Chain A
Amino acid sequence: MENILEVKDLNISFDTYAGKVQAIRGVNFNLKPGETLAIVGESGSGKSVTSRSIMRLLANNANIEKGEILFKGEDIVKKSEKEMRSIRGSEIAMIFQDPMTSLNPTQKIGKQIAEPILKHQNVSKKEAYERAEELLGLVGIPNPKKRMDQFPHQFSGGQRQRIVIAIALGCNPDILIADEPTTALDVTIQAQILELMKELQKKIKTSIIFITHDLGVVANVADRVAVMYAGKIVEVGSVDEVFYNPQHPYTWGLLSSMPTLETEGELYAIPGTPPDLLNPPKGDAFAPRSEYAMKIDTMEEPPFFKVSDTHYAATWLLHPDAPEVTPPAGIVERQKGYRARVLDVQPSEGLKEMSSQDAEDHLRQTDSELSPDEIATRKDKEGETVYHGSIL
């Protein structure tokens, strides 16, 4: 299926008194129609900036340094403000983090839901309000007719987020960007909102970009996951691949710091803090916090290594010459389960018999299936032995 959105080599910086903060440093991803892509990462990793750049709703001091954002094949970066206004709210819509503050406290919610419909669609005021009422019912607010005339403070947090979703869906957008839509809600309400979003996605067939730092939420809603760190995507793959066969040490760290039913004792935390993006580090930005860092990580930025057709990770550990490392215990557990499942799949693909050793080898091969160009250039530059076993 063709991509509805393609982000290519996006670089965004912010001018501050201290200097240029390089918030986004070469982000690539794409989005297929009807698909949910989750972008995860800690605060400051650039997930929100990425999503706002798609809406072109960046702060005044932000510059899109280079890159393309192709929406239906057209570059959003090059569009005029006027063209953007006709896209915002109609073709690309957004849901924000805090429902308590994202509705105008002095306006009736009926008016707030009808506003984008009136703005973008050639309908009468009456039709727009009818549609708004319908949407209000669709997102599960009982008695919509009466509630159209109420103000935001007369709704609970969860209901307000439903209203924000109704606003976003007003013009049946092709892409819905949800920027941490459940972070400000309590857990039971979170689950309801996520269910609602999944249900509505099926109904109106929109693509969703789901920004979050909550891996539990990701597992629940997403088809694919992109892990961001320090303004870059470090690993991308299907939910299954990223959760059960993670390759990047940062993803390992993230998953290890997520409590599971088996977690005992103190919860793991990734040591250190994210790098200062005023002066982004050379090489792999995660290296200073990673116990798996090698010498090459401090010198050269790792390219994306292909793990499978849908799974890529930017870590030198995937280079064929990299030493074998053992991920943290929890990750090994995850990978075991994944490998077992992959093995289940193998026979049906014609591999009738395979010893467990063979299976390991097989997996190891797919793991290190690099994009040949990238590896070639690496070798030309580095020679063959530079990073052999040079673990810091």
Chain B
Amino acid sequence: MKNYAKFIGKRVFYMLMTLFLIATITFFLMKLLPGTPYSNQDKLSPEQIHIMNEKYGLNKPILVQYGIYLFGLVTGDLGVSFQFNNTPVTELIASRIGPSAQIGIQAVVVGTLVGIVLGIIAAMKQGTWVDSSATFAAIIGRSIPNFVFAVLLQLVFGVWFNVLPIALWTGFASSILPSIALAISPMADSARFTRTEMVDVLSSDYVELARAKGLGKWEVAFKHGLRNVLIPLVTILGPMTVGLMTGSMVVESIFAIPGIGEQFVKSIMTNDYPTIMGVTMLYSLLLVSVILLVDVLYGIIDPRIRVATEGEA
């Protein structure tokens, strides 16, 4: 167990290194973006621009700006937004993270759980119409972009049945449609993945042994199959999270949800450097945390990995 902690510590260190690299690369890439943060530059005199640049430190050499930025990052200061009424970026993010986190988490949980169940059913009914229709649904879910689903959901539940709000953020009810729209692709992914893995596991020797013990088919699938299916499934959690983040930008815009994604899109269009950097760092932090979580989960689900890492460290 001590070695396991050492292993996690090592992973956390790598994670910080990754974040540092992301911060550096994003900073310089952003500086290469054409244009300036000033939306109506034509109306500003060179003096005014100079004063503004002076105020925001944009006339300093790039390396100095980079240094200031890194120092701020380490001390938890992400700077002040150019566009959103001079609010500090940290405050801006804090005020908008709620809705994004809520629909994101709802989408991941519902999506993967439903996906796993569908995948198991498809695997158990392998080769029947149930299997084919589940596979078909998964392909549809995977290939149709989530903004199409978003609009479709708005039409069906918002306009035709009029049971859920079409847009805006007024509480849980308004989180349902965007969550579903976001959940479609993780659901399709995990369903497909679970089915493939389960089919494999069901033909394995230990499943046959479990059957020979007198267990029923479903009993075997859940008691012996599921945990072994989850091991490879954990792998796709990382890419799935990325998909959700990018997906949420579009979906939040469609449902007019005051979330991070929506803000990110706006900040890029206006060259709002501190906000771009802040949100990028937030997304990166989220992603590397998911990757770390995946590693930890592996250890929990698969006893072989726990021992292997203990041996290695």
Contact = CB atoms under 8 A, between A and B. Distances in A.
Whether chains A and B associate is yes
Contact of B206 (A81, A86, A89, A102): A102
Interface in B178-224: 204-206, 208-216, 224
A116 interface: yes
A139 interface: no
B211 A88 contact: yes
Contacts of B68: none
Contacts of B215: 85, 89, 115, 119
A101 B204 contact: yes
A153 interface: yes
Interface string A114-143: 011001100000000000000000000000
A106 B212 contact: no
Nearest to B226: A106
Contact of A119 (B214, B228, B302): B214
Contacts of B227: 106-107
B209 A105 contact: no
B40 to A, nearest CB: 62
B303 A105 contact: yes
Contacts of B228: 104-106
A172 to B, nearest CB: 14
Interface residues of B, number: 21
Contacts of B304: 105, 151, 153
B307 interface: yes
Interface string A82-97: 0001111110011011
Contacts, number: 74
B214 A87 contact: yes
A176 B244 CA distance: 53
Secondary structure at chain A's binding surface: helix, strand, loop or mixed?
mixed
A87 B208 CA distance: 15
B173 interface: no
A234 interface: no
Is the interface on chain A under 10, 10 to 19, 20 to 34, or 35 or more residues?
Answer: 20 to 34
Nearest to B209: A102
A93 B216 CA distance: 15
Interface string B51-90: 0000000000000000000000000000000000000000
A365 to B, nearest CB: 46
26 contacts: A57-B208, A81-B216, A85-B214, A85-B215, A88-B211, A89-B214, A90-B214, A93-B212, A94-B209, A96-B205, A96-B209, A96-B212, A98-B205, A101-B205, A102-B205, A102-B209, A104-B228, A105-B302, A106-B227, A106-B301, A115-B210, A119-B214, A151-B307, A153-B303, A167-B209, A167-B213
Given A86-B214, A96-B208, A96-B209, 6 more contacts: A88-B214, A101-B206, A102-B205, A102-B206, A115-B215, A153-B304
Interface of B: 204-206, 208-216, 224, 227-228, 231, 301-304, 307
